[in-house]
Amino acid sequence: MPLTKRRLQLLGQLVELYQRTSLPIHYETLARSLGVSKWTAYDMLKEIEKLGFVTRSYEVNSKETGRSQVVFSPTVKASDLFKQNRSDSINQADWEQTRVHIHNLLKSVKNGNVNDLIRNMMNEIPSKASSIEFCGYILGLLLVYVKKLGGKTETLIRLVVSKTPNSENGTLMFVGTVLGTIIQTINDELGNEFTELVSEFLRTMDQLSSQDRRLLSVMLHEALA
Please report the pLDDT score of residue 55 as a whole number: 92
Whether 16 is covered by a domain: the verdict is yes
Domain boundary among 20, 46, 81: 81
Mean pLDDT (the chain) is 82
Number of domains into which the chain is organized? 2
Asked if residues 219 and 210 have their Cβ atoms less than 8 Å apart, the reply is no
- Residue 68 and residue 132 share a domain: no
pTM of the model: 0.61
Q: Is the pLDDT of residue 134 over 90?
A: no
Residues 122 and 33 in one domain: no
**127 within a domain of the structure (yes/no):** yes
Q: Is residue 86 part of a domain?
A: no
More confident of the two residues 17 and 184: 17
Confidence tier at 48 by pLDDT (50, 70, 90)? very high
Q: Count other C-beta atoms under 10 Å from residue 77's C-beta.
A: 11
Instruction: State whether 133 and 104 are in the same domain.
Output: yes
**115 and 208 housed in the same domain:** yes
Decide if 220 contacts 170 (C-beta within 8 A).
yes
Give the pLDDT confidence score for residue 189 in this predicted structure: 55
Whether 176 is covered by a domain: the verdict is: yes
Residue closest to 132 by CA, chosen among 87, 168, 196: 87
Over range 68-74, report the average pLDDT.
Answer: 89
Q: Is residue 218 assigned to a domain? A: yes
Note the pLDDT of residue 40: 94
Question: What are the tens digits of pLDDT across the range 176-194?
Answer: 888 888 777 766 556 666 7
**58 and 106 share a domain?**
no
pLDDT score, position 188? 59
Structure confidence at residue 123 (pLDDT): 67
The pLDDT assigned to 118 comes to 79
* Per-residue pLDDT at 38: 93
pLDDT above 90 as % of the chain: 16
Q: Is the pLDDT confidence value at 222 over 80?
A: yes
